[in-house]
Amino acid sequence: MATTEFGRTVHRWRDRVSPEAAGLPTGGQRRAPGLRREELALLAGISVDYITRLEQGRASNPSPQVVEALARALRLSSGERAHLFGLAGLAPPGPDTVPAYITPSVQRLLDRLTGTPVAVYDASWTLLIANPPYAALMGDPSGWRGNERNGVWRNFLGYENRVRQTPESQGALQAALVADLRATVGRYPADQRLRRLVAELQARSDRFAELWESGAVRRHEAARKTIDHPQVGALTLDCDVVTVAGSDLHIMIYTAEPGTEDAERLELLTVLGTQSLLG
């Protein structure tokens, strides 16, 4: 059970993270130099009310997913992350589970890509973090919870998607995602959350079950995508997926060919994303 020290520690570490370091605007009066609760909630994908209750010692037993999300948002070192898990009465995830820890070096890389849509997924294609240009391009994911944050789940169960698909391209993407997920299960056979995800997808999607039974194993990598955006129209972009050795993170990066209309629209989207944060 989490102690009051868990909440005090979250509060202390929240105070030391500047909005600039977290990629957030700094407008308005601030009583303290660090992140507001609302900002931490946005970064971690957790409700403000729950963070308030945690900090005040009125909530106990945070899940490993909540602790991991707080560790990412607070930019904790590996030692600090382990300490936060310990205060929650939990053991840090071991090598037999899908890593969800964004290392400081990956975080620094993200900090330098402020004008490019970037999202980071774990090896099961669960979204860990997305920057403002990505949210502007693909839709704000901050309200997604649980399996809603998983790209395989959303693709097979019909969640809204701005990427233009033909039956052929959708079939190829689904086959690639299932083959990639099967490879992940092979690397993390003891991860119960991953096994539950696969079992639920098998139960709810005949197409997923069919592809899973095929037994294909491979990585899902680069693609060229057309995104139908409600404000700026269609953009055709290169989508590259970089896998981080050691942490098994997938970094998804969208870019446009310089000097094209797609590049101009992408630049406009970056401005729109910044304005939505300031608004």
Structure confidence by residue, pLDDT tens digits, 120-177: 999 999 999 998 899 999 998 888 888 899 999 999 997 878 999 889 988 989 999 9
CATH number assigned to the domain comprising residue 50: 1.10.260.40
* Number of domains, the chain: 2
What span, in angstroms and rounded, lies between the C-alpha atoms of 91 and 268? 44
Residues 75 and 206 in one domain: no
Residues 189 and 163 in one domain: yes
Note the pLDDT of residue 279: 45
User: Residue 53: pLDDT above 50?
Assistant: yes
Dihedral angle, C-alpha 96, 97, 102, 106, nearest 10 °: 50
Establish if 116 belongs to a structural domain.
yes
Parent domain of 18 = 4-87
Phi first, then psi: give them for residue 58, nearest 5 degrees: -95, 0
Q: Residue 278: which pLDDT band, with cuts at 50, 70 and 90?
A: very low
In DSSP terms, 242 is beta-bridged to 251
pTM of the prediction? 0.82
What span, in angstroms and rounded, lies between the C-alpha atoms of 222 and 239? 6
Residue 190, class by beta-carbon neighbours within 10 Å (0-12 exposed, 13-18 middle, 19+ buried)?
exposed
Residues 124 and 83 in one domain: no
Pick the closest to residue 7 from 70, 77, 98, 99 (CA basis).
70
Mean pLDDT is lowest, of 66-70, 98-102, 226-230, 274-278, for 274-278
pLDDT digits (tens, 9 = 90+) for 196-253: 999 999 999 999 999 999 887 777 767 889 999 998 999 999 999 999 888 899 999 9
Q: Residue 273: which pLDDT band, with cuts at 50, 70 and 90?
A: low
Residues 71 and 40 in one domain: yes
Give Cβ neighbours of residue 190 (< 8 Å, ≥ 6 apart): 96, 97
> 211 with 180: CB under 8 angstroms?
no
Q: Residue 27: which pLDDT band, with cuts at 50, 70 and 90?
A: low
Boundary residue ending a domain (37, 59, 87):
87
Note the pLDDT of residue 112: 87
User: Residue 277: pLDDT above 60?
Assistant: no
CATH number assigned to the domain comprising residue 150: 3.30.450.180
Q: Residue 276: which pLDDT band, with cuts at 50, 70 and 90?
A: low
Residues 237 and 158 in one domain: yes
